[in-house]
């Protein structure tokens, strides 16, 4: 009578399977390490670019497209515009110097924060707005795409109050707007920004 038995250490198939599993584990560990390093590098690059966008006023559109970033919205002047000679180039303008506590419109309507809640107030009437949508609005529009303009007397003609901004610290600041020239003035800075006109309309629509 013959007894067949297999000793694990002498079975070639068993050794091959063990070696394959070992190689696979090493490959997965190496690939995981490689992936983590690249994710950290990408995160670092995005942080640097974000700081650059805020301080310098934008990065090349090709780089933004490659990284999937929101492209800059060009602000153009007509060739015969009286502001052509005052243009200082396209950039970004950050107006939320500290956290905003209230926005006040010339119509008397106000967006007011109390704690973590936001209220739309008209005289004695008020109603609460969705805080997530309000915070998203600030996140989207605290930094504006603008065409900066040199200071000139022509800009201050027919300028009226557009929006008064109250901060948690410091004095309030106001946006003034010239509808004929489509030019804004805020804290001594003149600029054009169709984006901000639309942003203000979006905020008013949110309050309806």
Segment 49-64, tens digit of pLDDT? 555 444 444 444 444 4
Structure tokens at 133: 């949508």
39 and 122 assigned to the same domain: no
45 and 129 co-located in one domain: no
72: in domain: no
Q: Which residue range is the domain that position 115 belongs to?
A: 84-207
Instruction: Looking at the structure, tell me whether residues 91 and 157 fall in a common domain.
Output: yes
pLDDT of residue 71: 42
Compare 116 and 208 and report the one with higher pLDDT: 116
Shared domain for 52 and 107, answered yes or no, is: no
Give a yes or no: residue 59 inside a domain: yes
Q: Is residue 2 part of a domain?
A: no
How many residues are recorded in the chain?
Answer: 208
Question: Do the beta carbons of residue 153 and residue 86 sit within 8 Å?
Answer: no
94 touches 143 (CB < 8 A)? yes
- The pLDDT of residue 129 is 95
Are 147 and 90 contacting, i.e. CB atoms less than 8 angstroms apart? yes
Highest mean pLDDT among 15-19, 43-47, 48-52: 43-47
Residues 201 and 147 in one domain: yes
pLDDT number for residue 79: 41
Burial 13-29 (b: 16+ CB within 10 A, else e): eeeeeeeeeeeeeeeee
Task: Tell me: do 101 and 188 sit in the same domain.
Answer: yes
Domain assignment of residue 74, yes or no: no
Angle at 114 between CA 109 and CA 119, to 5 degrees: 35
**104 and 181 co-located in one domain:** yes
Query: Can you list the alpha helix ranges (DSSP code H) found in the chain?
Result: 12-56, 61-67, 131-141, 153-156, 194-207
Question: Where do we find the tokens 């020239």?
Answer: 181
Name the percent of the chain in helix, strand, coil, to the closest 5: 40, 30, 30
What is d(CA 146, CA 89) in angstroms, rounded to the nearest whole number?
Answer: 8
pLDDT band for 20, please (50, 70, 90 cuts).
Answer: low
What is residue 75's predicted lDDT score, i.e. its pLDDT? 41
The pLDDT score that the predictor gives to residue 54 is 42
Please indicate, yes or no, whether residues 101 and 46 belong to a single structural domain of this protein.
no
Q: State the pLDDT at residue 174.
A: 96
Q: Are residues 100 and 191 in the same domain?
A: yes
DSSP state of 18: H
* Together in a domain, 94 and 56: no
Helix axes 194-207, 131-141, angle to 10 degrees: 170
Higher pLDDT, 171 or 24: 171
CA distances from residue 94 to 91, 137, 140, 146 in whole angstroms, order as listed? 10, 14, 11, 10
Which residues have CB under 8 Å from 7's CB, separation 6+?
A: none
Same domain, 128 and 198: yes
- The answer on 21 and 57 residing in a single domain is yes
The domain tally of the chain equals 2
Q: Is residue 148 part of a domain?
A: yes
């Amino acid at each position: 009578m013959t007894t067949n038995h297999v000793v694990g250490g002498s079975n070639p198939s068993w050794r091959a399977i063990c070696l394959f599993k070992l190689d696979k584990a090493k490959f997965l560990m190496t690939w995981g390490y490689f992936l983590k390093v690249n994710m950290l590098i990408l995160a670092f690059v995005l942080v640097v670019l974000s700081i650059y966008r805020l301080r310098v006023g934008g990065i090349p559109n090709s780089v933004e497209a490659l990284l999937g970033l929101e492209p800059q919205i060009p602000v153009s002047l007509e060739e015969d515009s009286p502001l052509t000679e005052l243009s200082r180039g396209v950039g970004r303008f950050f107006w939320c110097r500290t956290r905003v506590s209230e926005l006040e419109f010339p119509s008397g309507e106000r967006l007011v924060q109390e704690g973590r809640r936001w209220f739309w107030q008209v005289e004695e009437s008020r109603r609460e707005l969705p805080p997530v949508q309000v915070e998203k609005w600030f996140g989207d529009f605290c930094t504006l795409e603008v065409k900066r303009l040199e200071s000139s007397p022509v800009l201050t003609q027919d300028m009226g109050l557009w929006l008064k901004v109250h901060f948690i610290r410091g004095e309030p600041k106001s946006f003034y707007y010239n509808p004929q020239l489509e030019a804004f003035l805020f804290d001594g800075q003149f600029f054009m920004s169709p984006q901000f006109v639309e942003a203000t309309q979006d905020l008013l629509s949110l309050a309806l």
